[in-house]
């Protein structure tokens, strides 16, 4: 690797980190406006607009994230007197860095550079070159993703512990318990994809989804992954860690100013990163129907470099579009589903999702052995079986009225007192 390559790599890493933080800033705006619309409100629409002729305003509120950041920077930075100072100071970084480095192995698109520079057929594997839109291609990319997402919980746990506050402590403990519980189901859901693609490399997994997204053969795994990743990034309806009504603010109660902003940032970047991983594993990554034909057309008319560039940018766009759709889904779910109870959370994680994920692994294995050649047939079978399992599990675990013997009505309790 030459000196220039290293410089390019560093610049790419910086751009990716900046892009992730910008993405976070605008995801908060996206979420606030969408949540407002879900609740019949307008949302932030004051900070910054593009004036149009006739007094109309375009994109009202697009500077809101900037305003928020400026506000947070000028807040007083307090360290509690009895906090464990160094741990307290380090914990925001502990939470943020894993959230940022998740992005390294996710293929954001396909822009072949170097090598023969040919347009990718059946996947992005340029001979002798590399994919410009993937920072690091390592053969165990999936393990890297799982490891880094789990490290994030250290930040939360030590933040709760070091601030010497019982509410923060409880928030931190809740977070650790929750993340560890859901990691199993998450890992097993990912394992199904790994078995399907026969590879641990993220790039290879995306390549294998050419024309056949893994959401079909891994439908069950996709649902499990969605639920488990929502719990993993402690987001509504699994946001017990910051249950405002019970824990003041959760593990970040004692953090102010930019330290709080870093926790906030790590949470949201992790959420978007989880959506990006879901897109990579299940929704075909940067694949999009018709993209290759278009790039081939451009390549034939305007040269190969232009074709590659068009393919790269459009595949990046397709990837971001899918991530946006999944982000919309998470906001939608946040606006709809109320927070679960702690026992419900543990029940769902251990007694529902884990057996379902194990079943998914078994199903994938059996189908791969029985029907190794016909991916359409095995995929359809897996889809049908997966849907049946989900409907069945939902029916068995549905909300149920507790038996009458366990219920004490207010009217009855008054009688008991008399």
Partner 1 sequence: MLGEIVKGLRTTFKYLFKKPVTVQYPEVKRPVRERFRGRHELKRFENGMERCIGCALCAAACPADAILVIPGENDPAHPNSPGERYAATYEINMLRCIFCGYCEDACPTNAIVLEHQYELAYYDRKSAIYTKEMLLVPPDKGHGEIPPILQELNRRPSPPAQIDL
Question: What one-character DSSP code corresponds to residue 83?
Answer: S
C-alpha distance from residue 290 to each of 16, 110, 303, 315 (Å)? 27, 14, 19, 11
Of 124, 273, 311, nearest in space to 209 by CA: 124
Candidates 71-79, 125-133, 142-150, 396-404: pick the segment binding partner 1 (CB under 8 A). 396-404
Q: How many CB atoms lie within 10 A of CB 326?
A: 21
Near partner 1 in 337-356, by CB under 8 A: 337
Q: Is 40 a binder of partner 1 (CB under 8 A)? A: yes
Judged on CB neighbours under 10 Å (0-12, 13-18, 19+), 34 is: middle
Q: Is 395 a binder of partner 1 (CB under 8 A)? A: yes
Q: Is 394 a binder of partner 1 (CB under 8 A)? A: yes
Distance (Å, whole) CA 53 – CA 259: 42
Q: Is 38 a binder of partner 1 (CB under 8 A)? A: yes
Q: Is 39 a binder of partner 1 (CB under 8 A)? A: yes
Work out which of 6, 15, 18, 42 binds partner 1, going by CB under 8 A.
42
Query: Which residue reads 């697009």 in tokens?
Result: 62
Longest dimension (CA), the chain: 91
Q: How many CB atoms lie within 10 A of CB 317?
A: 14
Q: Taking the C-alpha atoms of 192, 198, 201 and 203 in order, what is their torsion angle to the nearest 10 degrees?
A: -100
Q: Is 37 a binder of partner 1 (CB under 8 A)? A: yes
Distance (Å, whole) CA 279 – CA 366: 25
CB nearer to partner 1: give 50 or 391.
391
Residues binding partner 1: what is the number (CB under 8 A)?
A: 20
Q: Is 391 a binder of partner 1 (CB under 8 A)? A: yes
CB nearer to partner 1: give 372 or 402.
402
CB nearer to partner 1: give 333 or 346.
333
Candidates 225-233, 272-280, 286-294, 390-398: pick the segment binding partner 1 (CB under 8 A). 390-398
CB nearer to partner 1: give 208 or 235.
235
Work out which of 22, 139, 336, 374 binds partner 1, going by CB under 8 A.
336
CB nearer to partner 1: give 321 or 394.
394
Which chain residues interact with partner 1 by CB under 8 A? Answer: 34, 36-42, 332-333, 335-337, 390-391, 394-395, 397-399
């Amino acid at each position: 690797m030459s000196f220039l390559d290293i410089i390019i790599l560093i610049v790419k890493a910086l751009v990716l980190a900046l892009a992730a933080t910008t993405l976070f800033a605008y995801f908060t705006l996206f979420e606030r406006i969408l949540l407002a619309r879900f609740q019949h409100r307008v949302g932030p629409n004051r900070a910054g607009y593009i004036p149009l002729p006739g007094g109309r305003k375009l994109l009202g509120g697009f500077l809101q994230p900037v305003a928020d950041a400026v506000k947070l920077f000028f807040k007083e930075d307090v360290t509690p007197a009895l906090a464990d100072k160094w741990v307290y100071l380090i914990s925001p970084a502990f939470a943020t860095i894993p959230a940022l480095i998740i992005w390294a192995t996710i293929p954001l698109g396909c822009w072949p550079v170097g090598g023969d520079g040919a347009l990718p057929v059946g996947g992005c594997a340029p001979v002798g070159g590399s994919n410009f839109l993937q920072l690091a291609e390592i053969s165990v990319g999936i393990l890297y993703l799982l490891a880094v997402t789990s490290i994030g919980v250290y930040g939360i746990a030590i933040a709760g512990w070091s601030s010497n506050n019982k509410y923060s402590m409880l928030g931190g403990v809740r977070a650790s318990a929750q993340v560890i519980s859901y990691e199993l189901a998450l890992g097993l859901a990912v394992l199904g994809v790994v078995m399907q693609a026969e590879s641990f490399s993220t790039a290879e997994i995306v390549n294998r989804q050419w024309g056949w997204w893994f959401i079909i053969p891994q439908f069950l795994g996709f649902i499990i992954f969605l639920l488990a990743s929502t719990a993993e990034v402690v987001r509504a309806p699994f946001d017990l860690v910051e249950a405002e009504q019970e824990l003041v603010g959760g593990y970040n109660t004692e953090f102010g100013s930019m330290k709080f902003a870093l926790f906030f940032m790590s949470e949201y970047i992790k959420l978007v990163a989880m959506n990006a991983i879901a897109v990579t594993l299940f929704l075909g990554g940067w694949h999009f129907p018709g993209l290759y034909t278009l790039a081939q057309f451009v390549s034939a008319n305007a040269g190969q470099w232009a074709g590659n560039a068009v393919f790269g940018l459009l595949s990046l766009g397709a990837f971001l579009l899918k991530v946006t759709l999944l982000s919309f889904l998470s906001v939608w779910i946040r606006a709809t589903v109320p927070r679960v109870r702690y026992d419900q959370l543990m029940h769902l994680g251990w007694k529902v999702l884990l057996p379902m994920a194990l079943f998914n692994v078994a199903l994938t294995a059996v189908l791969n052995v029985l029907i190794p050649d016909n991916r359409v047939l095995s995929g359809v079978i897996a889809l049908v079986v997966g849907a049946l399992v989900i409907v069945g599990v939902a029916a068995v675990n549905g909300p149920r009225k507790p038996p009458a013997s366990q219920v004490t009505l207010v009217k009855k309790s008054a009688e008991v007192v008399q």
